[in-house]
Amino acid sequence: MRYHIGGLPQEKLLDLYKGMLKPRMIEEKMLVLLRQGKISKWFSGIGQEAISVGVTQALNAEEYILPMHRNLGVFTSRGVPLHRLFGQWQGKKSGFTNGRDRSFHFGTQEYRIVGMISHLGPQLGVADGIALADMLRRKKRATAVFTGEGATSEGDFHEALNVASVWNLPVLFCIENNGYGLSTPTNEQYNCKDLVDRAKGYGMESRIIDGNNILEVYSKVNELCNAIRKRPRPILLEFKTFRMRGHEEASGTKYVPEKLMKKWAKKDPIANYEDFLKEKGILDDAKIEAYRAEIAEEINTNLQKAYDEPSIESTPTKELNNVYQNFDYKHYKKNDNTENIRFVDAVSQGLEQSMEKYNELIIMGQDIADYGGVFKITEGFTKTFGKRRVRNTPICESAIVSAAMGLSINGMKSVVEMQFADFVSSGFNPIVNYLAKVYYRWGQNADVVIRMPCGAGVGAGPFHSQTNEAWFTKTPGLKVAYPAFPSDAKGLLATAINDPNPVLFFEHKGLYRSIYEDVPTDYYTLPFGKANVLRNGKDLSVVTYGAGVHWALEILEKHPEINADVIDLRTLQPLDVDAVYESVKKTSKLIILQEDTLFGGIASDIAAMVMENCFEFLDAPIRRVGSLETPVPFAKALEQEYLPKQRFEAALLELYAY
């Protein structure tokens, strides 16, 4: 192995050596503890220390780094206290997740580290968002994100690289090519010679680096960091290395040819660098023993500190209270001046006023800039706020949701427009596995609103008509708003943007240009979790939301003999169950209307909760009405049959007569 010192001082050469030695010695200790049953799992980075240490030391302390399983050297190089790392791996309170996640699945703002999730790919887009925030603030910073060669086959990898290239984001995409994705060798994962060849397709620079040569890693990465701080742009790095142990310790390495293991054992980054420093007279056996003794003492002292800490305890109340970041709702009253506008205008107005309120609020979505979006919600916004804040995106929902998460990590709010709610399936993973869980896991909020133009009735067919709110009301950590009127849409959108938690904001396309209302002209907010009682009655309770509200009101107008409570839920998570219970206790009959298909929808949960809490007040079976259990059809006659409006009328009359 050839080492080039360049202009590095002796102190730095030794610092890099100690930087690699520390994670190696910690790992050796962890393997012993794993066999003793004192930790539950371990992903070894033995043989790859030069990458983690070299990259981290090339970054400035305020620059974010996003590591993977095998990057212990990132954490030790950033000076994370060992007792906290050991506490994390033992599920102790001193760790970073309060026992809610394991190993390296955590982040820490204090040390500018953002840990990965098991789905791997989304963290690449998160790095894009972090870098975007730095670039928008004109901070000359780099962001480094790690991935393995296996995850480069994921769509998120390609999406994130494309976004970074189009937006010229200062991100180092670091591929640790260690030969195997669990047990799958590289020749079964991809069919190009080098992974960096893919950079050409994205118009990116790339480098291949010997991942076992600490001086090459540090020097080249340091040079590249300086370059992208001056002229922001992404660079794809492929570190050639090898995984000397199993994917995780239970996997073993029987699938690796012995000859290959011996070849890479000779390339051990620490042993070779140690020999080099000894040859140069920079290091000797006495220094090595002194370093080892110092590190061993630090490990043992901090291990004992972690052992002495009691097992973590909690309560259901505490756990539930840590799913969302606390939001102190601030009420902005409606002003007296009103304007009769459409639903679509109210959404646009609410979004524009929030952009004025928050100078760092970013909007991202397909065709939303000069074109104004397919529904023209953001028409004219670029003239007012510029393209830095109103950002057209490539067609890559997953990377953009992940980038929104990165913006939040770096202290910015964002609104993502799904062109149609149906397309959210392409961004589903980062929503339900990253945004929804991140605060509960390590206390980082996801300050993101995802706008969801949804709903049938406009002849748009199976891929542009879904109302898929139940996908998200099921997921702890997400909030879901679904207004039915222009004034509610404007006020709830303002609240959604104020809220530091992730919000799915559903906007029914069929209401966009068909529903008008007198809407206050100034900025105002409405609380989440507070239903609106539109009509008061004694015969029965109608609970609904979205387009269902208008169907229910229309049908009740046809039947003046029915004196009904009509409750517009407005938000589905949080849900105003008290308003529902209060109404049922008064009327003793309940019918729930939703546009979504019936099975597994919000109506089922409301019905179950009412049965559990108000059973003695019921004088009739609860009725649920929803759309047919089919995809949304295109032809008008089929779509009308699919939707529940007419079935609701029949069920309403049956319940009234019961």
Under 8 Å between Cβ of 118 and 125: no
Give CA–CA dist 185/270, Å, rounded: 25
Token pair for 217 = 């890693």
Terminal-to-terminal C-alpha distance of the chain: 86
pLDDT the model gives residue 102: 83
Give CA–CA dist 126/435, Å, rounded: 11
Under 8 Å between Cβ of 101 and 442: yes
Under 8 Å between Cβ of 523 and 353: yes
Residue by residue, DSSP assigns 434-475 as IITTHHHHHS----EEEEEEE-SSSS--TTS----THHHHTS
Q: Which of 72, 58, 45 is nearest to 16 (CA)?
A: 58
Give CA–CA dist 186/175, Å, rounded: 13
Under 8 Å between Cβ of 48 and 211: yes
Give CA–CA dist 482/477, Å, rounded: 17
Long-range contacts of 23-28 (CB under 8 A, 24+ apart): 23/49, 23/52, 23/53, 23/72, 23/73, 23/76, 24/49, 24/270, 25/292, 25/295, 25/296, 25/299, 26/72, 26/76, 26/82, 26/85, 26/299, 27/72
- For Cα atoms 106, 108, 114, give the angle at the middle one, nearest 5 degrees: 60
pLDDT the model gives residue 44: 80
205-210 and 235-240 beta bridge pairing? parallel
Give CA–CA dist 530/579, Å, rounded: 8
Plot region of 175 (φ>0 → left; ψ -120 to 50 → alpha; else → beta): beta
Residues with a known catalytic role: 464
pLDDT the model gives residue 368: 98
* Mean pLDDT per 10-residue interval, the chain, length 658 residues: 92 97 94 83 87 98 95 96 94 93 92 93 96 98 95 94 98 92 84 93 97 97 98 97 77 79 86 96 97 97 95 95 96 97 98 98 98 97 97 97 98 97 96 97 97 96 96 98 98 98 98 98 98 98 98 98 98 98 98 97 98 98 98 96 96 97
pLDDT the model gives residue 374: 96
Token pair for 7 = 């202009």
Q: What is the DSSP letter of 108?
A: B
Across the beta sheet with 532-535, what order do the strands follow?
Answer: 532-535, 564-568, 540-544, 590-597, 623-627
